[in-house]
Amino acid sequence: MKFDILFVILILTVTTHAQDDDDFIIDSNSGYDETAATRYWYFCAASYCNPNVIVNWSCTTPCSKTPYMDDVQIFVNATNENAGFSGYDPKHNEIIIVFRGTLPWSIKNWFEDLNYIKTSFPYCTNNCQVHRGFYYSYLGIQDQVLNAAKRLTSKYPNAKLVITGHSLGGSLATHALVALTVNGYKVDHFYSFGSPRVGDSAFFNFVKSIYPAAKFRVTHDHDPVPHLPMEVQGFHHINTEAYYKDFLIFHKDVKICNDEIKEDSRCSNQNLVDLSVDDHCNYLGYNLAIGVLVCQ
């Protein structure tokens, strides 16, 4: 199974920053919205479903939890098998752009995930570098994403623009945040889930400079993917992290870390070893792995 490859890589993701839970700082002024995050998580779960199911918005639990989705269109690159969808949520007056994560059965997705070589990022003015696999994966769907944003913002000019994605989709969402921002779009909300690191510290500073507003990458306890590629390879997460130890009492469990100078060891970087594939699939009380099996 492809997960065997993941475990070999993940055994290297050891950190040395364990601290007591009492040391966490909860920032009530961060702007993190758990209700919105839960809604966006269901959209991420829906992105793994069969495209016909997504377009018809009949994707079992994720769709039943967000039954008000309209104007849904798929974007996909058949060459590298990256995909997602866009649509309009009339209840919340939001344009949603969602990026799907790695398909367990897609060897092309796995090669992109494991391509840790860096490449220069053309938008940057400070010589920043990004993960080449993630960047070229995004470029394969960028035109479709920009066209979707143009179509939906023209059709719904007063709607807020939301970008979200899970796993590999979180890295693609990060690139979309940059591309849409530099192309003049106002991104109102950004939430990623279990995203890997996308670029180096210069990329972190660049993203912060062009998009200083609150943006959140949600992490879950021992989810291994946020620790890839590794810091020792020169990668650095964008801020801000919303970390959950578990999802028993949501609002009491979330911890906010800003990851300014270096990644904060009080959130997901606190753990000695992170090897839970279940934590990677389970966010905010819903395990997307279960849903994927019934919506193909």
Check residue 14 and give its pLDDT.
36
Check residue 21 and give its pLDDT.
38
Q: What is the pLDDT along the chain (296 residues), one digit of tens a residue?
A: 333 333 333 333 333 333 333 334 445 678 999 999 999 999 999 999 999 999 999 999 999 999 999 999 999 998 888 999 999 999 999 999 999 998 764 445 544 556 678 999 999 988 999 999 999 999 999 999 999 999 999 999 999 999 999 999 999 999 999 999 999 999 999 999 999 999 999 999 999 999 999 999 999 999 999 999 999 999 999 999 999 988 765 556 789 998 776 788 889 988 877 888 899 999 998 999 887 777 87
168 three-class SS: helix
Check residue 19 and give its pLDDT.
36
Residue 157 CB partners (closer than 8 Å, separation 6+) = none
Annotated domain spans of the chain: 2-294
Check residue 287 and give its pLDDT.
92
| Cα torsion through 143, 146, 147, 150, rounded to 10 | -160
Check residue 265 and give its pLDDT.
86
Tell me if the bond preceding 119 is cis, omega within 30° of 0.
Answer: no
- Taking the whole predicted model, whether its pTM rises above 0.85 is answered as yes
What's the CATH number for 2-294?
3.40.50.1820
In 3D space, the residue among 101, 110, 113 whose CA is nearest the CA of residue 193 turns out to be 101
The structure tokens 């809604």 sit at: 39
Check residue 250 and give its pLDDT.
55
